[in-house]
Structure 1
Amino acid sequence: MRGWWREIAGLVLPVDCAGCGRPRTDLCERCRGLLGGASSVRRVRPSPEPAGLPPVYAAGRYGDEVRAVLLAHKERGALGLARPLGDALAAAVGALGVAGTVLLVPVPSARRAVARRGHDATARMARAAAAVLRRQGTPARAVTALRRRRLVADQAGLDAAGRLANLSGALEAVGGATALLAAAPVVLVDDLMTTGTSLSVAASVVTVAGGRVAGAAVVAGPDGPEVHSDARLRR
């Protein structure tokens, strides 16, 4: 019910651009261009790069406007932004060049965070991206194949080693996902890559479950060798 009310409110109430604040548009053309424009999709690598990290493509650079859009969708419930964010993820998936059917598997957020927000932002973006890819002729399906098996500490402020220790053994494949993960190449999806630890741990879980990870796609990646975590984007 909460998500339904937010979507209706977005249709009838005046809004400002979630990225730059320009009035009377939920996302202006300039900010939309920062998310998956032809010149913004690129491969990104953290430094140091964690073992097992698959190729990662980002739709945009983690900067003021992109950060604001991600926060608006994830933390403030601007659910209408799932469509342009899905477009961005689809562009990043396309850059991986995976042929044939592809499974988009979101990196899972903590259940308490999803409950607090009232929606699963990453899963919502994954579904939107899969719909875009299907319209473009790529058989794509978003599947919630991973879950948290235990509580973890807040990732904000942890370095790469701290994040790896925090997430070690924290993810698992959901029951019955083994056959599904083995059926087609997997692309892990997330909103933001910082140290790359979450993606490398998720890739390991998929591989152990019998899947083949073709790469990862994120909305935003680092400008330089590494981007620092934002506490408000915590998982």
Structure 2
Amino acid sequence: MDLVLGGRCAGCDRPGVSLCPECQHALAGCTAYRAWPDPVPEGLSVPTATAEYGGVVRSVILAHKEHARYALARPLGEALAVAVQTTLGAGRAAWLCPVPSSASTVRQRGHDPLRRLSAVAVRRLRRSGYDVRLADALAVVRRPQDQAGLSAQQRSANLSGAFEARSRWAERLTGQPVIVVDDVLTTGSTLAEACRALAVRGIPVLGCAVVAATRRRALPGS
């Protein structure tokens, strides 16, 4: 369909399919690594990413998220599965808990991109023999302000109390391995808030898994 209608690669903008072989390899060839931000926000569980947020990876994530290019969910979700698998270590089972978006954000975009990626990751891991399931255990209870331009410290304050664990999931996840997932890690404040919201309901987080992480260094006063 892309060839007939004149589609372009989301990674390099070349005419053709949604993701050309070279850009697909840039995602599939990533190796998971520990992606601690600097400074580390309080309460953040061990974060794992599969790529640096930039270049092809950034373009593909934005095309899927902001421009509803659904076909990109598969390569992105498979990259997320690699981060989840590394987070599990020797374990074979876990619940994947996506960082939630507000209802208004989902309506504005016309879809929930992170949940779609998470579902792809679950299917990919289950085919590989892992007992991994999706848990929509978090909800937005206070919409934070726009994070653009905020320091790490300001982002943490802005997100404080933004999420809450859903009551129907609290008992179900108690004592279960839970991994919080997101598409991008910047300062880690969003993931830390998700970890906090689960922890206050007695749900410890095994780790956090993301597709990509920004290369961040501590700035004076941040």
Q: Same fold, TM exceeding 0.5?
A: yes
2:112 corresponds in structure 1 to 120
2:84 corresponds in structure 1 to 93
Q: How many residues align?
A: 217
Q: Is the 8 A contact 1:191 1:220 kept in 2?
A: yes
| Aligned positions of 1:144-183 closer than 5 A | 144-182=136-174
SS state of the match for residue 213, structure 1? coil
- Counterpart CA distance in 1 for 2:212 and 2:135 is 21
- Structure 1 residue 68 and structure 2 residue 59: aligned? yes
Q: Is the 8 A contact 2:38 2:216 kept in 1?
A: no
Identity of aligned residues (%): 45
1:59 corresponds in structure 2 to 50
One-letter code aligned to 2:13: G
One-letter code aligned to 2:133: R
One-letter code aligned to 1:20: C
Q: Runs of 5+ in structure 1 lacking a partner?
A: 1-8, 227-235
Alignment partner of 1:16 out of 8, 18, 28:
8
TM-score of the superposed pair, with normalisation by structure 1 = 0.86
One-letter code aligned to 1:110: S
Shift of 1:74: 0.4
Q: Is the 8 A contact 2:2 2:16 kept in 1?
A: no
2:121 corresponds in structure 1 to 129
- Structure 1 residue 104 and structure 2 residue 92: aligned? no
- Counterpart CA distance in 1 for 2:214 and 2:47 is 11
SS state of the match for residue 67, structure 2? coil
- Counterpart CA distance in 2 for 1:180 and 1:171 is 18
Shift of 1:175: 2.9
1:5 corresponds in structure 2 to none
* Greater CA drift, 156-165 or 27-36: 27-36
Shift of 1:223: 3.1
- Counterpart CA distance in 1 for 2:204 and 2:28 is 25
Tell me how large the CA RMSD over aligned residues is.
1.8
Q: Is the 8 A contact 2:187 2:216 kept in 1?
A: no
Alignment partner of 1:42 out of 33, 37, 60:
33
1:192 corresponds in structure 2 to 184
2:213 corresponds in structure 1 to 221
SS state of the match for residue 105, structure 2? helix
One-letter code aligned to 2:171: A
One-letter code aligned to 1:66: V
- Counterpart CA distance in 1 for 2:116 and 2:15 is 26
- Counterpart CA distance in 1 for 2:3 and 2:119 is 21
SS state of the match for residue 167, structure 2? coil
Shift of 1:151: 2.0
TM-score of the superposed pair, with normalisation by structure 2 = 0.91
Shift of 1:89: 0.3
Change (3 A) 1:138 1:11: farther
Q: Deviations over 1:152-174 (max 9, x none)?
A: 10111111111111111110012
SS state of the match for residue 187, structure 1? strand
